[in-house]
Amino acid sequence: MDDFRLPTEPRPSTRSWIFPVMLLAAGVLIGVILTSDLGWLPTGHAVPDSVPPPASVPVPRPVSTAVQPSLPGAGGQSFVDVAKAVKPAVVNIFATRNGSSEEGKGTPFEDPFFRRFFGEEWMKRFEAPKERKERGLGSGVIVDANGLIITNNHVVNKADDIKVFLSDKREFKAKLVGTDAKTDVAVLKIEATGLPTVAWADSDKLEVGEFVLAVGNPFGLTQTVTLGIVSALGRAAGIAEYEDFIQTDAAINPGNSGGALVNVRGELVGINTAIYSQSGGNMGIGFAVPSNMAHSIMDQLVQHGKVVRGWLGVSIQELTPELSSQFGVPKDVKGVLVSDVMDDSPAKKAGFERGDVIVEYDGKPMDSPAHLRNAVAQTHVGKKVSVKIIREKKAKSIELTIAEQPKNLAQAGVEEGGESVAPAGLLSDIEVRELNTELAGRYGLKGSDRGVVVVRVKPGSPAEEAGVREGDLVLEVNRKSIGTVKSYEQVAANLPKDQAVLLLLKRQGRAIYLTLRP
């Protein structure tokens, strides 16, 4: 029976497909012959081991699993080796402080009438908790196998409960050995033995440009290691009273506080403390307490439960180029200017004077006030030291014995009163008056010192640019003492024209030198 198809539908032919099939087969045959002659292989196939590859094709090599290259000065260690050695000695610190909540005070919930009207049970549903807990997270470094841990004061300050978590997941309740807010250092103790530790390094030998690793627990991410270099040394950031920070660009974030900053040998060079940030996170500027300072503070806290600091008994300030020329100090000489000498102090007894420039303390050069303050503070009480100074353009050495720093250093004040005066010349931009009770109260001064007080500084004047402020007490003009407005006028009248004027001022209990230039 025949198929039924539409009239327009052609009947299939058995011959129509034979020619295309034969043509395709011929093409495949020719392709195989060509590829075999040229030595090509389809993508994805491997060259047999017995057939050597063409000279133009490189021999495949396995991925390298060689050990990381060693670091200069690291004794053959790599960053991997340093990280493995240090991480077990860095701990996670969890501090809790109990506090009372102020929420709900002054609201109807505290009113006895409301409580009686609605009933105690109903009111309790809306009460804020009377106590709340503040939790802090930070890091610490094990520096003694028997459980001694160093961290930052701000990590554990006023904590009621401190827990320490080790890298092996063990948890300990820590005892606070002692804290020092002036350097932001604290020491903890846990009951354990045989713990991994980090060895101390001499931070005085640290140099700008050295590689360092920061190890800690940023944002609670435990055992985090970051790499950077030492960006600067001897930084003062306004964080603590005694500062000599190591600045680094190794990433430091919240939670890193109290963690380790180590060199390429895995030695502790600093305790990570703070960051400079406009976002709350790392911006490449981190600060660490130098290991020498931290080690000294820790030893005192462990041995005495407190920190005893050395005391020289001088007010000091930076030696600027302008001040160097005023005191006859060569421009290439670095030092610290003595602006005041305290009564009954080691410096006073040894013969220090205002205007002395300290260039060396206990055999070490001094180039900044912070450097000298830290050096004196870390000197053992009772130690005899030699101080090299420049006085009246002549070098001199003074021997003295360091005393213990008083808990409260006395601050001097001022007295008397009178009319205001504004002399001519560079001092014409400064208006002064003799002190009276009203002025003393206005500027927070006392009544034991003599001098004249600045009541006005002309805006945009050389005096303002030099840093003279309202409320400053003028003690000297060009090294001549000022006790009254009359003596101030006499000195001002004899000032040479078109020459710089050196002022000794007292501000907030401290004496400072300033230079006015025409």
Query: What domains are defined for the chain?
Result: 75-97+137-307 (2.40.10.120), 310-404 (2.30.42.10), 425-516 (2.30.42.10)
**Active-site residue flag, 257:** yes
**Active-site residue flag, 249:** no
> Which of 180, 184, 244, 429 does the annotation list as catalytic?
184
Task: Please give the helix or strand (H or E) that residue 245 lies within, else none.
Answer: strand 245-248
pLDDT at residue 373 is higher than 70: yes
> Which of 139, 203, 231, 257 does the annotation list as catalytic?
257
pLDDT at residue 385 is higher than 50: yes
Least-confidence region, from 258-262, 377-381, 457-461, 510-514? 457-461
Return the higher-pLDDT residue of 412 and 114: 114
pLDDT at residue 240 is higher than 60: yes
Q: What's the pLDDT tens digit per position in 154-206?
A: 999 888 899 999 999 999 999 999 999 889 999 999 999 999 999 999 999 99
> Which residues on adjacent β-strands are paired with residue 286?
248, 275
Q: What's the pLDDT tens digit per position in 63-91?
A: 444 555 666 666 667 899 999 999 999 99
Q: Are residues 150 and 143 in contact, defined by beta-carbon separation less than 8 angstroms?
A: yes
Q: Which residues of 343-371 are buried (b: 16+ CB within 10 A; e: fewer)?
A: eebbbbebebebbbbbbbbbeeebbbbbb
pLDDT at residue 229 is higher than 90: yes
The whole-angstrom separation of Cα 243 and Cα 276 is 15
Mean pLDDT along residues 238-256: 88
Least-confidence region, from 36-45, 54-63, 82-91, 299-308? 36-45
Closest CA to 398 of 409, 389, 407: 389
**Active-site residue flag, 184:** yes
The vertex-411 CA angle with 459 and 312, nearest 5°, equals: 110
The whole-angstrom separation of Cα 314 and Cα 340 is 6
The rounded mean pLDDT for the chain is 78
Return the higher-pLDDT residue of 116 and 327: 327
> Which of 81, 139, 154, 244 does the annotation list as catalytic?
154
Alpha-helical (H) ranges within 345-484 are 346-350, 369-377, 437-443, 462-466
What SS3 state is found at 488? helix
